[in-house]
Structure 1
Amino acid sequence: MGCEVSRRGQAIRLKAPGWKNVARMDEKLGQGYSEDEIRAVLAGEKQHTPRRKDAVSTPTPKVNLLVDIQAKLQAGKGAGYARWAKVFNLKQMAQTMNYLTEHGLLEYAVLEEKAAAATTRHNELSAQIKAAETRMAEIAVLRTHIINYVKTREVYAAYRKAGYSKKFLAEHEADILLHKAAKQAFDDLGIKKLPTVKSLQAEYATLLEGKKKDYAEYRRSREEMRELLAAKANVDRLMGYGEERQNDREKEQGQDR
């Protein structure tokens, strides 16, 4: 049996024995696939050269950080390697390479970015915790002053009524001093209307809860930051990246002069 030929619109359709689908032959396929050209080939008047697909170029893979490190270790030369070898050993470098592999840090730029981000986050959490601790300490002191102020208010009112009598002061000195200290604290803080002890306790509880959450993340971020900075420092020493940057800075300073 031969090939079935049919026409649909301006396109010729071919179907050979065993084919499930037809093949459309038209000018959209490019040179060599028009009706006249196909007829010429079938008549033996022309030779058909199948169209070749363009080869897909494969992007050149980036040389990753591990390859650079291994090359440096194998070379075992240079001032950077000599300084590194005095402090570290191959076991430590192997641990660093394992860490880089496990965390997908196969490019130095990524390692540098991650280390910087971890440091920033750690510092942010540290600042948040310190701010919470500062405010909690303020609340504790303020709460004490408010309680003392309320407890000694009547005594101080009586002291004023007595015309600030020395005798009255001697008899109630402790309460009067507490009252004065509380008033001075309120003035220093610029407080015009005293907050309630209940509201201060609620704020303290909120701050304490937030501090506990932040501290849990703080410990994790501190560990992550230390690991990243240690890995980066190890790589920097071995590869001499720190030395290269120092040389670049010195060149820039020399050009500015």
Structure 2
Amino acid sequence: MATTRLMKRKTTPGLSVAQSIKDCTDYGKNPVKTEDGKYISAYECDPATVDAEFLLWKSRYRAATGREQKADKDVLCYQIRQSFLPGEIAPEDANRIGYELAMRWTKGKHQFIVTTHTDKAHIHNHIYYNSTTLDCTHKYRDFLGSGRALGRLSDTLCLENGLSVVKQPKMKSQGKYKNYGEWAKGRERPLTFQQKLCAAIDAALEKQPSGLAAFLSLMEQSGYEVKQQRGAISFRAPGQERFTRLRSSTLGKGYGQKDIEAALSGSRTGTGHHSHRVNLIIDIQSKLQGKGSGYERWAKVFNLKQMAAALAFLQENNLMEYEQLEKKAAETTEHFHTLSGQIKSTEAALQTNKELKAATVQYARTRPVFQEYKVRKYSRRFLAEHEADIELYRAACADFKRILDGAKPPKMDELKEESRELVEKKKKLYAEYRKVKEEMREVTAAKANIDYLLGYAEPGRKKEQER
């Protein structure tokens, strides 16, 4: 279920047009609300320079059409607020649905930015789209009933993604529209189709089916329609419009097709996180001082569990020889540090790209003013009237010189494409980084426990035992 609201954003009293746009987009991009910008996406603009790009397109519109409205009547941008029922959706899914809503609503003709806020009990999106079209020939025109049309579009997306919708938007007794609190009051949080599917998968695996065919048969018996196409497996529950594909990006970690096949083959138990998470053994003698016999009993049981987990981990990963374990620990640690270095270099490249885009926007906006300044032979009067823009132009030129070292400035389209490639590369690196980090943690913890058991943790003990 998502409630929506469409708002016009005009020039704030006491602020310039540029400051007004920046003020509202900065609220949406608040790092505290978006988990340090983790849940921000954009179309035909960069989140870091969205306010400047909105302003640039408005300048192009005025230059192309010659039309300009009064400041108090000019709509700078439109804001959509989309709120979801608490506990019904994950932030990344909310951002994806918000992006789809903005794309369908604007038909891809306007720049927009989608920011997902997670600082409240209900996850909600703030969507800002430029009132000026991308071709700089028209502006978005609000129409009678646009709020209801937006709500229907949002409901359609919710149904497509297995979310609930407000079935009776008006309160019969009062003839008023329900607000979010009135609709949610007294309601239980319904399970999504994805959550129900995960529960059905868990129930089927608990019956220990002999193979994939037996597993799919159990899923059909529980009421699910099964579809196999090009090696991919999908399920559809009664009343569900679309099939849900068996993959971890949709259902969560442990519910991908490879995970299920591994569980069926016996190489992995269940669908949740790793069943034998290895932690470091406690050195009881060094920790015992000042503690009673209860702590000693607990520590001994804890250590036995960790040794059992370490042994299970070594068996699962075929690391029963100490040399193999030592080599694996060294390899995963080296791989982790390599990925860490690649992520840092990618982030540095993204920062450079961000600075270049900001300089490019600033240069394009202020260059006509500086050209006029040159035509007027560097008039002091003209400088006094346009000093801020001239200083911004010179700052943009200085940024180009510092970053490019005399090379020709790239075009904005090239910078945007480079930014998209770098963001995609960073996502892939981070996905691998998290996986390798967890692997390194478990391997090194298992090795440390084995070293403790064999006495290798004591200086010189390993060489002595090898002799």
- TM class by shorter chain equals 0.5 to 0.7
Pair 1:226–1:100, CA change in 2 (3 A): same
Task: Identify which of 414, 419, 426 aligns with 1:211.
Answer: 426
| Gapped regions of structure 2 (runs ≥ 5) | 1-282, 289-295
- Give the C-alpha shift of residue 188 in structure 1: 0.9
Residue 192 of structure 1 aligns with an amino acid whose one-letter code is A
1:229 correspondence with 2:444: yes
Q: For the Cα contact (< 8 Å) 1:81–1:240, is it kept in 2?
A: no
Task: Looking at secondary structure, tell me which structure has more strand per residue.
Answer: 2
Q: What is the total number of aligned residue pairs between the two structures?
A: 169
Residue 106 of structure 1 aligns with an amino acid whose one-letter code is M
Q: For the Cα contact (< 8 Å) 2:362–2:393, is it kept in 1?
A: yes
Task: Identify which of 85, 89, 94 aligns with 2:308.
Answer: 94
Q: What is aligned with 1:114?
A: 328
Q: Counterparts of 1:82 and 1:239 in 2: how far apart (Å)? A: 16
| Gapped regions of structure 1 (runs ≥ 5) | 1-79, 249-257
Q: What is aligned with 2:414?
A: 199
Pair 1:245–1:203, CA change in 2 (3 A): farther
Who wins on radius of gyration, i.e. which is larger? 1
1:242 correspondence with 2:457: yes
* Matched-pair identity in %: 44
Question: Cα RMSD between the aligned structures?
Answer: 2.5
Residue 356 of structure 2 aligns with an amino acid whose one-letter code is L
1:162 correspondence with 2:376: yes
Residue 456 of structure 2 aligns with an amino acid whose one-letter code is Y
- Give the C-alpha shift of residue 82 in structure 1: 5.5
Pair 1:89–1:244, CA change in 2 (3 A): same
Q: Counterparts of 1:143 and 1:220 in 2: how far apart (Å)? A: 33
Q: For the Cα contact (< 8 Å) 1:84–1:238, is it kept in 2?
A: no
Q: What is aligned with 1:105?
A: 319
- Give the C-alpha shift of residue 111 in structure 1: 0.5
Q: Secondary structure at the match of 2:431?
A: helix
Q: For the Cα contact (< 8 Å) 1:81–1:238, is it kept in 2?
A: no
Q: What is aligned with 2:354?
A: 140
Task: Identify which of 377, 392, 409 aligns with 1:178.
Answer: 392
Q: For the Cα contact (< 8 Å) 1:84–1:237, is it kept in 2?
A: no
Residue 445 of structure 2 aligns with an amino acid whose one-letter code is A
- Give the C-alpha shift of residue 219 in structure 1: 1.0
Q: Secondary structure at the match of 2:422?
A: helix
Q: What is aligned with 1:7?
A: none
- Give the C-alpha shift of residue 238 in structure 1: 2.3
Q: For the Cα contact (< 8 Å) 1:159–1:165, is it kept in 2?
A: yes
Task: Looking at secondary structure, tell me which structure has more helix per residue.
Answer: 1
Which has the higher relative contact order, 1 or 2, with Cα contacts under 8 A spaced 6 or more apart?
1
- Give the C-alpha shift of residue 84 in structure 1: 9.9
Residue 205 of structure 1 aligns with an amino acid whose one-letter code is R
Pair 1:159–1:149, CA change in 2 (3 A): same
* CA deviation profile, 1:35-73 (whole Å, cap 9, x unmatched): xxxxxxxxxxxxxxxxxxxxxxxxxxxxxxxxxxxxxxx
Q: What is aligned with 1:125?
A: 339
Q: Counterparts of 2:330 and 2:346 in 1: how far apart (Å)? A: 24
TM, length-normalised to structure 2 = 0.34
Q: Counterparts of 2:454 and 2:309 in 1: how far apart (Å)? A: 16
Q: For the Cα contact (< 8 Å) 2:455–2:462, is it kept in 1?
A: no
Q: Counterparts of 2:285 and 2:387 in 1: how far apart (Å)? A: 74
Q: Counterparts of 2:461 and 2:411 in 1: how far apart (Å)? A: 58
